Amino acid sequence: MSETNPELLIEIQNSVMTIIINRPERRNAVNLEVLSGLVQALQQAEQDKSLRAIVLTGAGEKAFCAGADLQTGKSFAFDYSEPTMAFANVFRAARRLNVPLIGRVNGACMAGGMGLMSMCDMVVASDKAVFGLPEVKVGLFPAQVLSVFQHLIPRRLLNEMCITGEPITAACALEAGLLNYVSDNLDEKLSWLISRVVDKSPAAIRRGIYTMKHAQSLSFEESMAFTESQIGLFALTEDAKEGQLAFREKRSPVWPGH
């Protein structure tokens, strides 16, 4: 467990990196130290080919992340000479990531916490979790969050959550397609999901995530041209050769990972 930043704990076990926002007394609200730590952790993970998955969660049982820490009075005091902002840089780092990022939503997921959850590739939530964009209640709006959140749920629900600021339940979030699974045994379901990732081809997943993220914003013809080039590269990997050989030999593959 990393102790270099006591407010952001990092554990690596069995090829899985777990990132824990460790501010339970503030409902895991984030500050600049947490945000910069998140960027560094995601960049580290991208460079570590031994990692098969990353889990992002909050400490305790009450909150995943309540967003920016409003108690500091400095959460929205920006340095306008900088062309990018700390929260947005976390989203950028996640966008460049080719390791599966799984959100473990253990409690309230609010405001910027919704952005952190939305930037994940998959999400498992407690059945007691709640989700909301309450920024309008303090005179703000979930502007940056929209970049990673707006394509995940139906537009009418998006409008309601942003404009009213009122939360929804885990069951509603699941129905809307915001989550993969809701469970009363969060860690058991999380372990089950991870087990379905780590036995697959590391090379296929890394290049596959890259392909999905880049194809997402392309037009149909641009996407077809891009994916036509990608499938040939998939087939050149050692994992592809081993996977097809294992299929023909009716055995489990032993992935080289490249």
Give the tens place of pLDDT for each residue, 236-245.
999 999 999 9
- 220 and 176 within one domain: no
Does 67 or 79 have the greater pLDDT score? 67
Please check the confidence at residue 73 and state whether its pLDDT lies above 60.
Answer: no
Domain boundary among 157, 179, 198: 198
- 186 and 207 within one domain: no
- 72 and 52 within one domain: yes
Please check the confidence at residue 15 and state whether its pLDDT lies above 70.
Answer: yes
Question: Averaged over 105-132, what is the pLDDT?
Answer: 97
pLDDT value at residue 84: 74
pLDDT value at residue 69: 85
Indicate whether 3 belongs to any domain. Answer: no
The structure's pTM equals 0.93
Give the total number of structural domains in the chain. 2
Q: Which helix (H) or strand (E) holds 217?
A: none
Q: Which helix (H) or strand (E) holds 234?
A: helix 220-236
Report how far residue 53's alpha carbon sits from residue 197's, in angstroms, rounded to the nearest whole number.
8
Band the pLDDT of 108: cuts 50, 70, 90. Answer: very high
- 83 and 209 within one domain: no
54: nearest Cα among 179, 194, 152, 188: 194
Indicate whether 116 belongs to any domain. Answer: yes
Please check the confidence at residue 219 and state whether its pLDDT lies above 70.
Answer: yes
Report how far residue 57's alpha carbon sits from residue 13's, in angstroms, rounded to the nearest whole number.
15
pLDDT value at residue 2: 47
Indicate whether 221 belongs to any domain. Answer: yes
Please check the confidence at residue 82 and state whether its pLDDT lies above 90.
Answer: no
- 154 and 43 within one domain: yes
pLDDT value at residue 77: 61
Q: For residues 117 and 148, is the Cβ–Cβ distance under 8 A?
A: no
**Which domain range does residue 189 map to?**
8-198
- 208 and 140 within one domain: no
Band the pLDDT of 78: cuts 50, 70, 90. Answer: low
- 120 and 138 within one domain: yes
- 238 and 111 within one domain: no
Indicate whether 28 belongs to any domain. Answer: yes
- 234 and 157 within one domain: no
Indicate whether 256 belongs to any domain. Answer: no
Domain boundary among 156, 172, 198: 198
Check which CATH number belongs to the domain holding 178 and give it. 3.90.226.10
For all residues of the chain together, what is the average pLDDT?
93
Domain boundary among 198, 215, 240: 198
- 209 and 174 within one domain: no
- 180 and 167 within one domain: yes
Band the pLDDT of 103: cuts 50, 70, 90. Answer: very high
Give the tens place of pLDDT for each residue, 143-174.
999 999 999 999 999 999 999 999 999 999 99
